[in-house]
Amino acid sequence: MAAAAQSQQPSNAETVQMDSLTKVNGSIDIQDLHTSAAKLSIAENATVDGSTDPVKTPFINPSSQSKLPTPPVLTEDQSTKYSKLLSSVQGWTTKPSSTPNTSAIPITDSDRIWLTRECILRYLRATKWDVNQAAIRLQATLTWRHEYGLENHSPEYISPENATGKQVLIGFDINGRPCLYLNPGKQNTERTNRQVEGLVFMLERTLDIMPAGQEMLALLINFDKKMGGDRPPLWQGKQVLNILQSHYPERLGRSLVINIPWVVWTFFKLINPFIDPATREKLKFDQDLRQFVPPTQLLKTYGGDVNFVYDHDVYWPALNELAAKKRAMMTERWIKAGKKIGESEHYLRGGEEAVGNGSVENGHVS
C-alpha cells in the first residue's frame, strides 16, 4: 500500500482491482468503491476513467497528502440549541411559498434527506446560534431550492454552458475539499439566467462528490488573459453572492483567485460591500496554490502537476454519472437508516454509524 500511495501509476494488481471497481458496464460502481476502497489497493490519484496523461475525468479520492478536519465538539449550549431546532424541523410538513396568497408546499423526501445534522448545524453557525433565525433561513432555502428548480436542471440542460470547460470539478485540496475551478476566459454563452444556473448545478455536483468528514469546497478562479476587458455584470455577481451566502452557508472553505486583471479588481471592489466578512477572509489572491492543493491534484494552468485536457464528451458524462451514483448511494443509506431528518452526512457519504434520530449528547452524535 505504501508503494502504491507514492506512485501515480498503478501496479498490475492495482489495475485489476481498479477494473473490478470501475469497469461495470463502462462506468464506476460507486457502492463497491465506498465499501471497499479502504481494503483495496486503489492507485494514488486514480481518475474515473483511468486516464493519467492527459487526465480527462475527475479524481476518485483525495490525495494521501490531504488531511480531513477533525469534527468540532459542540458546547453544552450549542447541543441544546441544536436539539431544539432539530425537534422543530422534524415537525415540519410544509415549506412556505414565496408567492403571496399561495398555499404552502409539502415537504418531500428530497427535503428531508437534505436536512442533515450537519446542514442544521451550518445554519446555526451562520446565524450565530440563533435558533429562530436558523429556522427561518432553513425554510427560505427549502423554498428557494423548490422554486429555483434545482432538481429540474438536468445535465442535458446545463451541458451547453460547460461545453468549453469554463467550470471543472476535479481534485481535492489539502483538507479534502473538492476543488471547483472557474475559468472565465472560456466563457461561451450569452449572459442569461442559465449561466448562474450552471454555477449552481456545479456547486451541487461538488457537494455530491464530497468525501465523508468534509462539508466545504475550494473554489479556484483563473482570470487568464483571454478574459480581456470582459467581466460578469454587477447584477450577476450580486445574484451569485446572494445564492452562496443565503443558501450555501458554511460551504466555502477557501477561494483561490489568480491572474487578476485591473478590470476584475474593479469588479471585486464593486461587489465587496455585498460580501460578508467571513467569506471575505477566505479569499486568497495571486498566491502559490501548491500550498493549498496537492500538486498531484492541482491543474498545470493553476501551478500544479496535472496535465488536464477538457474533452466535454468525455468529462461531462463521467462527472454526472459519478455524482448520480454517489447521490443514489446516499439515498439508499438514508432509507436504510430510517429516513430521518437530522441524519449524519458522514454516514450518508460512507461512514459507519448512522445518527438515526439525529440527537446529540455532550457535543457528540448519539
pLDDT of residue 234: 60
Ranges 62-71, 120-129, 278-287, most confident: 120-129
Closest by CA to 50, choosing from 90, 5, 6, 16, is: 16
How sure is the predictor about 42, in pLDDT bands with cuts at 50, 70 and 90? low
Cell 479588481 appears where? 265
Section 142-165 average pLDDT:
95
Identify the pLDDT of residue 238: 74
Contact 169, 180 (CB under 8 A): yes
Each residue's pLDDT tens digit, 304-323: 999 999 999 999 999 999 99
Query: Cα(36)–Cα(31) distance, rounded to whole angstroms?
Result: 8
Contacts (Cβ under 8 Å, ≥6 apart) of 176: 62, 66, 67, 68, 69, 211, 213, 214
Per-residue pLDDT for 360 more than 60? no
Q: How confident is the model at residue 79 (pLDDT cuts 50, 70, 90)?
A: very high
Q: Mean of the per-residue pLDDT values for the chain?
A: 84
pLDDT at residue 27 above 70? Answer: no
Quote the CA–CA distance of 114 and 37 in Å, as a whole number.
25
pLDDT digits (tens, 9 = 90+) for 157-176: 999 999 999 999 999 999 99
Q: What are phi and psi of 148, to 5 degrees?
A: -75, -20
Mean pLDDT, range 336-365, rounded to an integer:
75
- 316 vs 48: CA distance, rounded Å: 12
CA distance 4 to 42: 8
**Three-class secondary structure assignment of the chain:** CHHHHHCCCCCHHHHHHHHHHHCECCECCHHHHHHHCCCCCCCCCCECCCCCCCECCCECCCCCCCCCCCCCCCCHHHHHHHHHHHHHHHCCCEECCCCCCCCCEECCHHHHHHCCHHHHHHHHHHCCCCHHHHHHHHHHHHHHHHHHCHHHCCHHHHHHHHCCCCEEEEEECCCCCEEEEECHHHCCCCCCHHHHHHHHHHHHHHHHCCCCCCCCEEEEEECCHHHCCCCCCHHHHHHHHHHHHHHCCCCEEEEEEECCCHHHHHHHHHHHHHCCHHHHHCEEECCCHHHCCCHHHCEHHHCCCECECCCHHHHHHHHHHHHHHHHHHHHHHHHHCCCCCCCCHHHHCCCCCCCCCCCEECCEEC
Three cell numbers, residue 283: 479569499
Q: How far apart are CA 287 and CA 270, in angstroms?
A: 22
Report the alpha-carbon distance of residue 246 to residue 195 in Å, rounded. Answer: 19
Overall average pLDDT of the 256-262 stretch: 86
C-alpha to C-alpha distance for 61 and 176, rounded to whole angstroms: 9
And the C-alpha cell for 137?
433561513
CA 319 – CA 208 distance, rounded (Å): 10
Residue whose grid cell is 450577476: 236
The Cα 214–Cα 294 span in angstroms is 17
- The answer to whether 170 touches 190, Cβ cutoff 8 Å, is no
- pLDDT, residue 53, reads 93
Question: How does pLDDT run across 279-299, given as a tens digit for each residue?
Answer: 778 888 899 999 999 999 999
User: Distance between alpha carbon 96 and the CA centroid of its chain, in Å?
Assistant: 26
CA distances from 274 to 96, 121, 122, 232 (A): 26, 24, 20, 15
Q: Which residues pair with 348 in a beta bridge?
A: none
